[in-house]
Amino acid sequence: MMRRIVAVLLITAAIPLWAAQPVHARHGMVVTRERHATQAGVQVLKNGGNAIDAAVAVGLALAVTHPSAGNLGGGGFMLIRLADGRTTFIDFREHAPQSASRNMYLDASGKATQDSVTGYRAAGVPGTVRGLEYANKKYGKKQWAELVHPAVELALQGFPVSYGLSRSLRASRGLAAFPESNRIFLKNGKFYEPGEMLVQPELARTLSRIEKLGSKDFYEGETARLLAKDMAAHGGHITEADMKMYAVHERTPLTGMYHGYTIVTAPPPSSGGVGVLQMLGMLDGTGYEKGGAGSASVVHYMTEAMRRFFADRSEHLGDPDFVKVPMTSLLDPKYIAGRRASIDPERATSSSQIKAAVFTGHETIETTHYTVADEAGNVVAVTYTLNGSFGSKVTAAGLGFLLNNEMDDFAAKPGEPNMYGLIQGEANAIAPGKTPLSAMTPTIVLKDGKPVLAVGSPGGPTIINTVLEVIVNVLDFGMDVQDAVNWPRFHHQWMPDELRIEPGYSPDTVALLEKRGYTVKRVNSQGEAAAIHWNNGWLEGAPDPRTEGTAEGH
């Protein structure tokens, strides 16, 4: 007990707790990255909308108030657990344009260029608007226009820039190189100070068309025409035909069991769901939790599970509509047992010794996640993104929204690391119309068929490990959901062979990890999380103290 108390004191000193306790409510809860978006979602719940409606309103509001990741010009995933017990997964991830080709980002010498990261050529066909509309029409209760209108008002009337947004804009790299981005988000180099109003008339006009005409305007109307025109003028690949062809995919979530709980999570083209299930499977039966949260032995076992999953990720995961993903083999209990048995209880395994199985038969990293629950029992976990911070840095002329740089989530050159240091294989090579592999991992945990925890995270490849850590903090270490979100995080992704840890671990713990053979690299922060916990009739919302995130219920 004393050891745990000391650990908590160390963590509290390193990471200020935004809230000592989670936010409690009886009827509904919204947890997001930004307060105006949170309020938009809560208002929808108060007006009789369900969790899906609120999630749609939040996504559109974040496109205005959280421009580094909230978006119209990106894409993402929505995991839904309906009150009647059904679950579904809406995939509105970006697609490669029809003119895309396997080697489109290699120079004459065969080296990968930066064109997949910055500029017009980096953008995939955005899916957010069609995805949110799809969710509303099929599973919502409110009219589309009612859910778009709060975003229209925020863009038209403006909102006060927060300290975090001001700092993010000032620190952004690349926005200044593109005239519209420089004008709208950087005030032509004068920068926004905290408290100044950010008014976005071009974005308001785009949102107003979407409010009146739905996604048809974005994909087949004036917005699509203007976007394609701007692309053509700057060497981009997205055409009006690409926009018109974009289709949402509704998929079956992955499910698995862990310590008596049902884990409902993201299927491919997310790599996150299979990662969470595989890593939980490796931990199950080891008794790793006996070491106590934050101990060197717990970090060791979890890191070894991470290392083994990311090796498999590099080789086998991609868009299931284009490649055969060996899901049955990756999640086979015998295979997972073999991976578990390969973990040395006392020593780190060198990543050079871990290979992806052979089966026969850095996303700074600006994604955002939000979680919504309503009184009826509907639960929604949404992760969506522009990929890098402020995406490709391009703001579409006359439209007011930033474009993604999601093409970098493909393997521009299979076998070589991308902007996050991830090594990816042929399964994730570029092809026309293909969806890039993602780490986004919206997840819902059930007990006896009822929701217990809903969580997700942004942060590129760290997403998967952040979600894993919040889950085990609640299920295995008995933390309340706010403590589980606040707890210092760590990350290993196979290559590079290094263990990244946040502040909060004692020097003694770090020394023990190094003695086990780890190369420890300290990082200031790892992603963020937005979680909801169900506890004896209460909804408990937990925003992340690493950000300006908020939770609000009613």
Q: Are 392 and 406 contained in the same domain?
A: yes
The pLDDT profile of the chain, 554 residues, written as one tens digit per residue, is: 333 333 333 333 334 344 479 999 999 999 999 999 999 999 999 999 999 999 999 999 999 999 999 999 999 999 999 999 999 999 999 999 999 999 999 999 999 899 999 999 999 999 999 999 999 999 999 999 999 999 999 999 999 999 999 999 999 989 999 999 999 999 999 999 999 999 999 999 999 999 999 999 999 999 999 999 999 999 999 999 999 999 999 999 999 999 999 999 999 999 999 999 999 999 999 999 999 999 999 999 999 999 999 989 888 888 888 888 899 999 999 999 999 999 999 999 998 888 765 544 433 456 899 999 999 999 999 999 999 999 999 999 999 999 999 999 898 877 676 655 656 678 889 999 999 989 999 999 999 999 999 999 998 889 999 999 999 999 999 999 999 999 999 999 999 999 999 999 999 999 999 999 999 999 999 989 999 999 999 999 999 999 999 999 99
Domain range spanning residue 108? 23-250+377-419
Bridge partners of residue 402, in order along the sequence: 395
Candidates 38, 223, 367, 462; catalytic one: 367
CA-only gyration radius of the chain, Å: 22
CATH number of residue 317's parent domain: 3.60.20.40
Q: What amino acid occupies position 532?
A: I
Domain assignment present for residue 270? The answer is yes
**Is the C-alpha dihedral spanning 140, 145, 148, 153 positive or negative?**
negative
Rounded CA separation 494/476 (Å)? 24
Domain count, the chain: 2
Residue 435 lies in a domain: no
Same domain for 296 and 409: no
Separation between Cα atoms, residue 382 and residue 81, nearest integer Å: 12
Identify whether residues 289 and 399 lie together within a single domain. Answer: no
263 and 224 together in one domain: no
In a domain, 430, yes or no: no
SS3 2: helix
Rounded Cα distance, 548 and 532, in Å: 17
Strands of 402-457 (E only): list them.
Answer: 443-447, 450-456
Tell me: do 15 and 31 sit in the same domain.
no
Active site residue 367: yes
Q: Do 188 and 137 share a structural domain?
A: yes
- Check residue 415 and give left, alpha or beta (phi > 0: left; psi -120 to 50: alpha): left
What pTM value is reported for the model?
0.94
